Amino acid sequence: MTGSQAYGRLRAFGRPVIETREAATLLQISPSNASHLLRSLGAAGLVRRIRHGLWAIDTATDPFVIAPYLTVPYPAYVSLWSALAAHDMIEQIPARVFIVSLGRSRRIDTGFGHYSVHHLAPEVFGGFEGDAEHGYLATPEKALFDTLYVRAPRGGRAYLPELTLPNGFDAGELVRWRDLIPIPKLRTIVGRGIDRVLTGQVDSGRSVESGASPLASAGTARRSPGGSSPTG
């Protein structure tokens, strides 16, 4: 099998990211030969190494797309400051890609940049949109909630310079996610953070959509859209 034939089969695999062991199975070669082949394709500029044993089939793959593959077997999606910037809610572009996962918190260095992984409890994991081809991104509401949630153990204050809530922002979503937090103390701290953020937006002349007061009780929070889930 030539390098071009192997590359064609990797492209036909239909996923933007592949593990070395998966490539070995797909191409019916040994893992060591698959590793050598991928390095050769990388040197030719056809694939791009993400980290040990993990490769992007397209060298121009969006860094957001890679996020869930970094936390396997746990799912993940882009959130926090990265999602806030993607939704034009903050002006500053983070130097790292911030993702949330059911896995442990840690930092991961890759060929596509630095990633900061933050753990979420299963009860509050969700609220993202997207697919494997384009990546999974938190909704504006969930990105803000996740930011307040991960900062809660440090006192609940999140650094959100010049935060702008987009048109149609549903403040009730923040409350519904808050109500799913199983630990009362954590729920209270996050609730205070939500209140500070929403009060600040109203005081600054911005408006948010909500059918009730910011901290009113709400129903079940929106989960991930049907048919889509991050790798895990």
pLDDT at residue 214, rounded to an integer? 32
pLDDT value, residue 191 = 93
Cβ–Cβ under 8 Å, residues 178 and 145: yes
pLDDT at 121: 96
Which class for 2: exposed (0-12), middle (13-18), buried (19 or more C-beta within 10 A)? Answer: exposed
The per-residue pLDDT string of the chain (232 residues; one tens digit each, 9 = 90 and over) reads 788 899 999 999 889 999 999 999 999 999 999 999 999 999 999 999 999 999 999 999 999 999 999 999 999 999 999 999 999 999 888 999 999 999 999 999 999 999 999 999 999 999 999 998 899 999 999 999 999 999 888 765 666 767 899 999 999 999 999 999 999 999 999 999 899 888 875 444 444 443 333 333 333 333 333 345 687 7
Instruction: Supply the pLDDT for residue 60.
Output: 93
Query: Is 22 in the same domain as 67?
Result: no
Q: Same domain for 76 and 47? A: no
Task: Verify that 163 and 84 share a domain, yes or no.
Answer: yes
Contacts of 230 (CB under 8 A, 6+ apart): 67, 68, 75, 76, 77, 128, 136, 224
Q: How far apart are the first and last CA of the chain?
A: 31
pLDDT score for 199: 82
Quick one: 48 and 86 in the same domain?
Answer: no
Backbone angles phi, psi at 122, to 5 degrees: -55, -30
Residue 218: inside a domain, yes or no?
no
Domain that includes residue 43, residue range: 3-56
Say what the pLDDT of residue 227 is. Answer: 40
Rounded distance between C-alpha atoms, residue 102 and residue 70, angstroms: 12
What is the pTM for the complete model shown? 0.84
Separation between Cα atoms, residue 128 and residue 82, nearest integer Å: 13
Q: Are 89 and 177 contained in the same domain? A: yes
In a domain? residue 93: yes
Q: Is the peptide bond before 73 cis (omega within 30 degrees of 0)?
A: yes
Task: Enumerate residues 6+ apart whose C-beta is below 8 A from 8.
Answer: none
The number of domains in the chain is 2
pLDDT per residue as tens digits for the range 104-136: 999 999 999 999 999 999 999 999 999 988 999
> Looking at 28, 56, 84, which one is the last position of a domain?
56
Angle at 143 between CA 142 and CA 145, to 5 degrees: 60
